[in-house]
Amino acid sequence: MQVTESELQYVAGEHWAAILDSIADLKAHCDREEQVRMAESTSETSGSPSHFRHALLLYGPERAASRTEIISALPPKAAVDRYVSKYFNYLDLVASAAVHGPSFIQEYEAFWSDSTSMPILWIGLLFSMICLAVMASDVTDSAEEEQKTLQLELYREKIVQCLIMGEYTKPGPYVLETLVHYVYIEFGINPDANRNIWFLLGLEVNLAMRMGYHRDPSHFPDLTPLQGEMRRRLWTTVLTSDILLSSQMGMPRMISDWKWDTAEPRNLFDTDLNHLSSLTALPLSRPETEHTTTLELIARRRMLLALGTISNLADAVKPASYAEVMQADKTLHDAVSSIPPPLRFKPLQASMTDSPQVIMSRLFLEHLLYKGQIMLHRRFLNITSVACESNSESSTITTATTRFAYSRTACIDASLGALRMQHIFDEETCRGGQLHGMHWRITSSMTHLFLTATMILCSLVHCGKPLDDRVEEILAALRTARIIWMRRGSTSTSREAARAAEVVSLTLARAGERGAGADGAHSDINTVDTSDLVSGLELGQFMGVDGVPEDWAGGDYAFSMDDLLVQMSGSESFDTYCR
């Protein structure tokens, strides 16, 4: 719990900020720097674009608008055509999850023939598509960047005006689709975790449940097959948002597993759903070797169900048994095994013939694996140190080391894998890179994983002796991460990146690294090998480890690293502990 004169803020122990809090001397330094930075930036941010501060739907747009005024804000049809095309072709995952393309095109043509033919919430949906297409667009200079910001401000305002005019809390056509898009937009334009977006998520979840999306369409015979299948897709998106955003904010999930029974969407193209309104059954799902518009949605759902199980364990007030932890780990690896063949993990060097969308989809799924492993196993990293504190007998240390070796290795490997992924994104999303067109998909949710991995490795360096044979590997990863965080912290409005850069710089300086000051650079940025991103994380690599205890919570090892380290008020006590 972070308590100040103006704010009370809780984050769970697995959150990166909680990990930083456990390293007392680093936290104290960063808190001082943050206070200085906020004082210096107050006058600068007072005139900054509002999308860096508030979610318009929560605080209200600056002014109301009539339907005529809203429609007049649309660009010419030729420009809107290009935006809609970009939405369906470049934001394919977003589109397939919310909108049935062929049906929308019919409505789109009807709207341009008669603008009164479509309700205001459909117009809000159109503005949200335009806004998302602008978000995904590339800019080459500051003038284009300024124009893009103005466009985002305008279209974002129109979405909110449409939602308010359409009474978005009243269930009806197009309202959830528009709201889901709007939440994604607010999420995408903020470089850091934002509490406003988490509150918007609450609106999204409650609206979806009020409209019955949490129940499978088979319970409602009045729904057409097309409506039912689109509801399954949209509910998957709501689940995704809940698990990722709640985790990013360090909060428990909003959706409990026992509250919903909506089935997995089928592996179908949008065209497979054409003319289904009069049919009584959906087409059979296509083979999972066939990459349809829904395949990534299916893969994400499988991974996120496993991640939801892990999140429930991590957020539980009562510590889970180690047997439960290992069962959740198996569930996670089973989910990885269930990923359809076109989206299974593949080294970047073996993906040269694949589209950027496919590569990005694989990386996103892999990021979920790393996230799950870290959430499950981080608490066991320093378990040998606790044994040393509580019992000096070497047998106790040996037993603890054997029991939790899998968790320690899994967490360190996942943290290193996450930073390798960050390095890939840093290189390949630059102009000319393999993933340049996908830069908009590197959201603050993925950055949250990189922050968590960075803080974990920094905390380990502070207790360097237990690392032994991995210390150089970890230091090399931190050197690379430090360059990336410094660049992001200086070229964007991300306070989290600036904070991470400070923590890594201090950690490397403390480890005796030259040139690791706040403004220095390190020559070893290319020492991290990214040619095989998934090396060391093949399925089943650690399964079947001997010595796993049946019950962790019932013994002396029911322990949180945060609980132990937060008691240490200075670096001297921390050094003593590490020794």
User: Could you please report the per-residue DSSP string of 142-210?
Assistant: HHHHHHHHHHHHHHHHHHHHHHHHTTTTS--TTHHHHHHHHHHHHHHH-SS--HHHHHHHHHHHHHHHH
Task: Specify if 562 maps to a domain.
Answer: yes
Which among 215, 240, 263 is the end of a domain?
A: 263
**467 and 341 within one domain:** yes
**517 and 441 within one domain:** yes
Tokens standing for 219?
Answer: 């319970």
The total number of structural domains in the chain stands at 2
When pLDDT is averaged across residues 350-372 and rounded to a whole number, the result is: 94
What was the pLDDT predicted at 513?
A: 65
Task: Specify if 12 maps to a domain.
Answer: no
Residue predicted with more confidence, 558 or 456: 456
Task: Specify if 486 maps to a domain.
Answer: yes
Task: Specify if 139 maps to a domain.
Answer: yes
What was the pLDDT predicted at 186?
A: 92
**311 and 382 within one domain:** yes
Cα 148 to Cα 131: distance, rounded to the nearest angstrom: 10
**546 and 480 within one domain:** yes
Distances (CA, A) of 230 to 244, 278, 321, 339, 411: 21, 16, 39, 21, 37
Task: Specify if 363 maps to a domain.
Answer: yes
**446 and 347 within one domain:** yes
- Structural domain of residue 493, as residue ranges? 295-578
When pLDDT is averaged across residues 166-170 and rounded to a whole number, the result is: 93
Position 42 pLDDT exceeds 50 = no
What was the pLDDT predicted at 467?
A: 63
**355 and 246 within one domain:** no
**398 and 315 within one domain:** yes
Question: Which amino acid would we find at residue 196?
Answer: N
DSSP category for residue 380: G
pLDDT tens for 380-427 read: 887 654 444 444 545 555 566 678 889 999 999 999 999 999 999 999
Which among 263, 284, 311 is the end of a domain?
A: 263
When pLDDT is averaged across residues 159-170 and rounded to a whole number, the result is: 94
Length of the chain: 579
**327 and 222 within one domain:** no
**208 and 70 within one domain:** yes
**321 and 218 within one domain:** no
Q: Which residues contact 549 (CB under 8 A, 6 or more apart)?
A: 322, 323, 403, 555, 557
Q: How many other β-carbons are positioned within 10 Å of the β-carbon of residue 504?
A: 28
93 pLDDT tier (thresholds 50, 70, 90): confident
Task: Specify if 340 maps to a domain.
Answer: yes
Tokens standing for 378?
Answer: 């981080």
**472 and 364 within one domain:** yes
Of the candidates 350, 268, 249, 173, the residue with the CA atom closest to the CA atom of residue 2: 249
How buried is residue 259: exposed, middle or buried, by Cβ count under 10 Å (0-12/13-18/19+)?
exposed
pLDDT tens for 110-136 read: 999 999 999 999 999 999 999 999 999
Residue percentage of the chain with pLDDT more than 70: 74
Identify the H or E element spanning 418.
Answer: helix 394-428
Task: Specify if 86 maps to a domain.
Answer: yes
Q: Which residues contact 313 (CB under 8 A, 6 or more apart)?
A: 320, 324, 325, 328, 376
Distances (CA, A) of 61 to 64, 156, 197: 7, 9, 16
SS3 249: coil
Task: Specify if 348 maps to a domain.
Answer: yes
**486 and 370 within one domain:** yes
